[in-house]
Structure 1
Amino acid sequence: MFDKLYLKISSSLLLILAVSVLPLTVSAESRDSGLSWNLLLKSKINDDWFVLSRSNIASRNDNSDYFFGYTGVSLGYQLDKIWSLRLGYRYAAIKPQNNWLKENRPFLEAFASTKLNDYKLTSRSRLEWRKFDYRENDIRLRQEFTLEAPMQFTELELKPYLEEEIFYSNNHQRIEANWLGGGLAWRPEKGVKLKLGYRWNHFRLGNKWHNRDVIVIGLNLFY
């Protein structure tokens, strides 16, 4: 009962957040575009335990400059049919200007996945301990919701999805970024999922808000 209530509230929040943040684009200082390439690997150890790995590389400046990337791994435990917990580590590198800067990022996350009226809803809450050698360390909270519709398009059975993720910095006591997007998901065979979509990346640099239009390409493999 609690699980279903929580996820119903989550789906409502996804819609509210998506609508509420749109006016912020009016005051944004700049707009950019880029690509985000994503790889997810998940392997079951047994019925309860699994290993999960995520990697990414992203571009900016109208896709002319690859400036960010990460890779990492986590150990997960399936609490029940809906909830799981993951403990992991991510290594990230970013190039603000000419030099690559490194970040070590241990994290803990809670993940929930269920269906509501044939819509697939997921919620991911992640706490990150961000370790730097060039700036003050920080603790960041990330909250993501995704909603995949049951309808299918074309013979490929493409399914539309929406996603929303908020980034909150403990050091600055404020929202640092918001990702809002959507696209199509394709499952050509069991254990394989491909995603192609658009993401509006609304983020802070200093005290100013900026926008980036991102084409998101993802490959998920489950073993």
Structure 2
Amino acid sequence: MLVALFALLSGTQPLMADQDAGGSYNLLLKAPINDDWFLISRSNLASRNNFDDTFLAYTGLGIGYQLTPSFSLRLGYRRAWFRFTDDWQPENRGYLEGYLATRVSGFRFTNRARIEARYFDWRSDDVRLRNEITLEAPWELTPLRLKPYLEEEVFYSTRNDWIEANWLGGGLAWRPAKGVKLKLGYRWNRFRAGDDWANRNVLVTGINVFF
């Protein structure tokens, strides 16, 4: 994780150059099929240019199998849309991921490793590797029992043979009812813009519902 972060910071652009702000609004739904199999869906809407430009949206569906109490495999499809001009450009994305969720000294630790096959009709296809690590503290803050968390996700493009983005952030998680988790946080998005690096400060919200 730290190696990837240092690699990103080694770009020629100054660290605080090309700053932007935006939002990322997430919805995750998970429903059991039986004791071992489940369905999972993720949807997202994202903005940039100081929240003025909604440029990304996606939704999808996957099926998962719980191999052990702490580890599952998921296979799914995602349909994404990007808007870099006046028109929305589509992407078809298949993915396979492994998801580990365990506890270490009271902290909730998760690691999601994903491989994505990305198909476009407006740019070259790609296979992307992603790894996300999340650490949620056991401390309960305020009467709402908010729990702080930290997370990082690294994106690697096999077509370009480079790390193309790093998301580093944190926030607060709230579980107002059984099967419901709400998240509010900040993400520092460092990403490639051509051959250079750019930065975006992102307000992140999440609604997770487990049926």
TM-score range, shorter chain: over 0.9
Q: Tell me the residue number matched to 2:110.
A: 122
CA deviation after TM superposition for structure 1 residue 17, in Å: 5.0
The answer to whether structure 1 residue 178 and structure 2 residue 166 are counterparts is yes
The DSSP-based 3-state class of the residue aligned with 1:150 is: coil
Q: 1:20 to 1:150 in 2, by over 3 A?
A: farther
Aligned partner (choices 186, 196, 219) of residue 207 of structure 2: 219
Whether the aligned pair in 1 keeps the contact of 2:9 and 2:15 (CA below 8 Å) is: no
Pick one of 112, 117, 128 that aligns with 2:100: 112
Q: 2:61 matched to 1:73?
A: yes
Conserved 8 A contact 1:42-1:221: yes
Mean Cα deviation higher: 92-101 or 75-84: 92-101
Q: 1:20 Cα shift?
A: 6.7
2:84 is paired with a residue whose SS is coil
> What does the per-residue CA deviation read over 1:163-203, in whole Å, with 9 as the maximum and x for residues that have no partner?
00000000000000000000000000100000000000111
Please provide the CA RMSD for this pair. 1.6
* Matched AA of 2:159: N
Distance (whole Å) between structure 2 residues aligned to residue 38 and residue 201 of structure 1: 16
Task: Describe the superposition over 1:89-122 as per-residue Cα deviations: whole angstroms up to 9, x where unpaired.
Answer: 0000001122211000000000000000000000
The residue identity in structure 2 corresponding to 1:96 is F
Hey, which of these two has a bigger chunk of helix by percent?
Answer: 1
Q: Deviations over 1:24-53 (max 9, x none)?
A: 673464110011110000001111000000
Query: Matched residues, percent identical?
Result: 55
**SS of equivalent to 2:68:** coil
Task: Report matched runs for 1:156-167 at 5 Å.
Answer: 156-167=144-155
Cα distance in structure 2, aligned partners of 1:59 and 1:106: 23
Deviation at 1:208, TM superposition (A): 1.1
Distance in structure 1 (CA, Å) of the matches to 2:96 and 2:25: 23
Aligned to 1:206: 194
Tell me which amino acid in the other structure corresponds to 1:219: I
The 2-side partners of 1:106 and 1:153 are apart by 39
Matched to 1:84, the amino acid is: S
Listed as ranges, the gaps of 5+ residues in structure 2 are none
The CA distance in 2 between the partners of 1:168 and 1:125, in whole Å, is: 12
Provide the residue aligned with 2:49 in structure 1: 61
Name the structure where strand makes up a greater proportion of residues: 2
List per-residue Cα deviations over 1:129-163 (Å, max 9, x = no partner). 00000111100000000000001110000000000
Runs of 5+ unmatched residues, structure 1: 1-12
Q: For residue 4 of structure 1, what is the aligned residue in structure 2?
A: none
AA paired with 2:18? Answer: S
Counterpart of 1:8 in structure 2 is none
The amino acid of 1:207's aligned partner reads D
Q: CA deviation at 1:65?
A: 1.0
Distance 1:162 1:22, change over 3 A: farther
In the alignment, is the contact (CA less than 8 A) between 1:148 and 1:159 conserved in 2? Answer: yes
Aligned residues: 210
Paired AA for residue 80 in structure 2 = A
**1:33 partner letter:** A
What residue number does 2:123 align with?
Answer: 135
TM (norm. structure 1) is: 0.90
* C-alpha separation in 1, matches of 2:133 and 2:105: 17
